[in-house]
Chains A and B, each alone.
Chain A
Amino acid sequence: MITFELTKEQTLIQKTAKEFASGELKDIARDCDEHDEIPKKLLDKAWEMGLANAAVPETYGGIGMQRSAMTSALICEELGYGCASLAAAIMAPSTFIQPLVDFGTEEQKKRYLPTYGQDKFAPAAAALHESHFTFDVTDMRTTARQEGGHWVLNGVKRLVPFGQTAQHFLVLAKSGDRTGLAHVGAFIVPRDAKGLTVESAPEKTMGLKPVPKAKITLDNVAVPMADRLGAGKGIDGRRLINTLRVANSALCVGLAKAVLDASVPYAKQRVAFGEPIAKRQAIAFKLSEMHSEIEAMRWLVWKAASQLDQNGDATKATTLAQHYANKNCVLIADNGVQIFGGHGYIRDLPLEMWMRNARTLTVLEGIVAA
């Protein structure tokens, strides 16, 4: 049955995330961007509300909320609307927590989840990205091979959110020789593991500035067999990566919507040649297209999310959603700057920040939310 109807719970979650975004994120976004900093208070508050960690089961100290790709998409769109950077920061630990909930063995959940079920922010993240521009999730250079009763990890991971403070990383690596999403392996690595080095200076990026990012090097890091996510059984790498990508695409929808909602009143108020620029088709048509694309982006994200929730292989739907959401997020942010002209370029207003965030968000291949 084709339907766009959200459940009551989903509508409530959406509303909660929306209120949080407008109350807590919007006003401090610029300040955080300028100073590359996020108030600890904000992260704790988001944590208290369970935005990133609600899926931790009650047995492990969490709320045990049924978390689906769909609810994630709703939360990410709303938070992304408030501020994509802060949303990414809030959601980053979910890239560690959610895979653990989805694929972890009972033993792994018992061991690692209690730290993240609390209502104080606890940093952790997936380590996915690598240095080379041909980076490809299906064929990573970070490798995991079995040796002497361990998994041995080697490689360099970049832009790892909260790398400097995280207690645990979920290192994604190519295990064995086979390429493809199905063969992506995930390994739980504590920050004090022998052979793991975290570069102390944070990595600087054009967008998502306030999210602390680190370069980590894995030099023959021995991971016990029991700490491969899913242990002997391993994980469904396809599902893991698709989940990350859908959440990331939902952040794109929120960001794009923020651009449109700022551009509409500005275009009505800004007068040129005696009338509001919104009365010129060159501007009005841009706004129309922004609106249509945002709608389309959202439905593509919802379709991929609902396929994930129905346990189907959502790879194609995810790829289409990601392609569409990324392309249009960047285009819309760029057009937002254009509508505001010089004011779009000046750092007083958020347009230039949104454009930087859009560009950074869309090249990250989904490391910021789950």
Chain B
Amino acid sequence: MVDFTFNAKEQEIIREIRREGLVLRKYARYYDEHEEELPPDEFPEAKEFAHIDKMAADRGADATSPTAFYMCMLMHRTWGDMMRMKVPFTALGNASVTAAGTDEQKKRWAKTRLSMANTEPGCGSDSKAIETTAELDGDEWVLNGEKIFVTTGIRAEGSVIWATIDKSAGRGGIKAFVVMKGTPGFELVKKEKKMGIRSSDTAAFVLKNCRVPKENLLGMDPTVKKGGGGFKGLMKTFNLTRPGVAAMGIGNIMACQEFVAEEMAKEGVAVDYEAGQHKRSAIQQKMIELEAELEAATLCTLRAGWLADKGKPNNLEASVSKQKGGDISRRGAQLALEILGAMGSTHDQLVEKWFRDARITDIYEGTGEIQRLVIARELLNYTSKDLT
């Protein structure tokens, strides 16, 4: 039976995550203002909250399905901050290894934190246009090119570099290579400076005749594939990461919404959900719009997670959640600042930071426009060639 409530254990977990979030918020401003510093892998208070993951693993018989609940946890975690009390051991590159690597490779890099390098100065969403090349020379692949916007690029020990072995083959020629830091020719150019999510390290790399062993090709299949190949492995990872990214944006806006509601209450401006619309002020109407949009994005994200747990296809729903998550991350933060007025933009509180942090949601892991393309193709039964 349709239900949108959490059981007692789940409510307790959410309370604990939020308690952790309040601790993180104490560090939030510092790492926002000291972008050059890397937050620790583990904050000293992490021990106090180590029980949360254990609690999440056993939530009783009437528990929310795991992926849907994971999305809830992500929302409430990010309600605290984009930063994490304990940085996960794995990064996006590890997801690529899981999706495209051989068993041997999965074992080999199981304990190595790997970033994923896909974007280049000349291409982002259009991943098939990448220009970084890999050529086989004896027992080694030789990589050349530039990679930017590499999330966790500073923190990670190595990177999964997406490169083409045959430019004329388009997607079919794209392969992924594990390149460890310290490999000659693999240079860290800089740490990027960003509008928000500054606690998340973003790197730019250059590969100049960078040689890696043959065994570092993920999947170990050097043949050019027709119509996808390794590229499909890249895309497959998105069905889970897209709702996850949406969930983080939603968490940001949850924080904005709650802060604004508290400020309104302090000033005696309560939203009367019963009263007719003619009795609502513009501010109250904005709050209702903000809450409705937030609820819409949240429910679409939970739906995408729930479908995954049911073993049903969720490609469409993953993009719907990301689209809605991107929209609310922009519109919701705007509404919050509109309601707060000038004080909302000061460093007195964190709303202005959340506003900057949330803005990334509609950009990374596929822009809002890309999500719309994915959704439209599904609706219209069009291929990516039919609709670009």
**Residues A278 and B279 in contact, CB atoms below 8 Å apart:** no
Across the interface, which residues of A come within 8 angstroms of B382, CB to CB? 278-279
A35 CB to nearest B CB, Å:
34
Q: Tell whether B223 is near chain A: CB-to-CB under 8 Å.
A: no
* Chain A window 330-359, contacts with chain B (Cβ cutoff 8 Å), 1 for yes, 0 for no: 000000000000000000000000000000
Chain A residues positioned under 8 Å from B72 (CB to CB) = 2
The reply to whether B386 and A279 contact each other, CB–CB distance below 8 Å, is yes
Residue contact A180 to B387, C-beta cutoff 8 Å: no
Chain A 263-277 near chain B by CB (<8 Å), digits 1 or 0: 010011000000000
B247: min CB distance to chain A, Å: 13
Q: Contacting chain B: which of A23-31, A86-94, A220-228, A291-299?
A: A291-299
Task: Take A3-B306, A295-B303 as given contacts and tell me if A267 and B380 are in contact as well, using a CB distance cutoff of 8 Å.
Answer: yes
User: Does A292 lie within 8 Å of B323, measured CB to CB?
Assistant: yes
Given A2-B69, A137-B276, A299-B300, A323 contacting B1 (CB threshold 8 A): no
Tell whether, in the assembled complex, residue B323 and residue A315 are in contact, meaning their CB atoms are under 8 Å apart: no
Contacts of A305 in B (CB 8 A): 2
What's the minimum C-beta distance from B372 to chain A, rounded to whole angstroms? 4
CB within 8 Å for A3 and B64 given contacts A278-B387, A320-B292: yes
Residue A42 CB within 8 A of the other chain? no
B299 at the interface (CB under 8 A from A): yes
Q: How far, in Å, is A240 (CB) from chain B's closest CB?
A: 13
The answer to whether A4 and B62 touch across the interface, beta carbons within 8 angstroms, is no
CB distance from A267 to the nearest CB of B (A): 7
Interface pair B380/A287, CB less than 8 Å apart: yes
B294 and chain A: residue at smallest CB distance = A320
Asked if B2 and A3 sit within 8 Å, CB to CB, the answer is yes
In the assembled complex, A311 has its CB within 8 A of some CB on chain B: no
CB–CB B289/A323 < 8 A? yes
| CA distance in complex: A137, B292 (Å) | 21
* Contact (Cβ within 8 A) A238 B274: yes
A267 to B295, CA, bound (A): 30
Query: A231-273: contact bitstring with B at CB < 8 Å (1 yes, 0 no)?
Result: 0000000100000000000000000000010001001100000
Q: A300's contact among B7, B296, B375, B386, by CB below 8 Å, is which?
A: B296
Chain B residues with CB under 8 Å of A293's CB are 296
Count how many chain B residues have C-beta atoms less than 8 Å from C-beta atoms of the other chain: 48
A302 at the interface (CB under 8 A from B): yes
CA of A307 to CA of B376, assembled, Å:
33
Do A134 and B324 have beta carbons less than 8 Å apart?
no
Residues of B within 8 A of A7 (CB): 1
From B3, B291, B297, B386, contact of A2 by CB (8 A): B3
Docked Cα-Cα span, A281 to B291, in Å, equals 29
A76 contacts chain B at the CB level, 8 A cutoff: no
CB-CB under 8 A from B49, the residues of chain A are none
Contact B379 A138 (CB under 8 A): no
Cα–Cα distance between A315 and B291 once the two chains are bound (Å): 13
- Rounded to whole Å, the gap between the CB of B153 and the closest CB of chain A is 32
> Contact mask A65-87 → B, CB, 8 Å, 1/0?
00000100000000000000000
Question: Cα distance A101–B63 when bound, in Å?
Answer: 33
B interface residue numbers (CB < 8 A to A): 1-7, 62-65, 68-69, 72, 273-276, 278-279, 288-289, 291-293, 295-297, 299-300, 302-303, 306, 317, 320, 323-324, 369, 371-373, 375-376, 379-380, 382, 386-387
A sample of 5 more A-B contacts (CB under 8 A), given A288-B372, A300-B296, is A1-B5, A2-B64, A136-B276, A138-B274, A323-B292
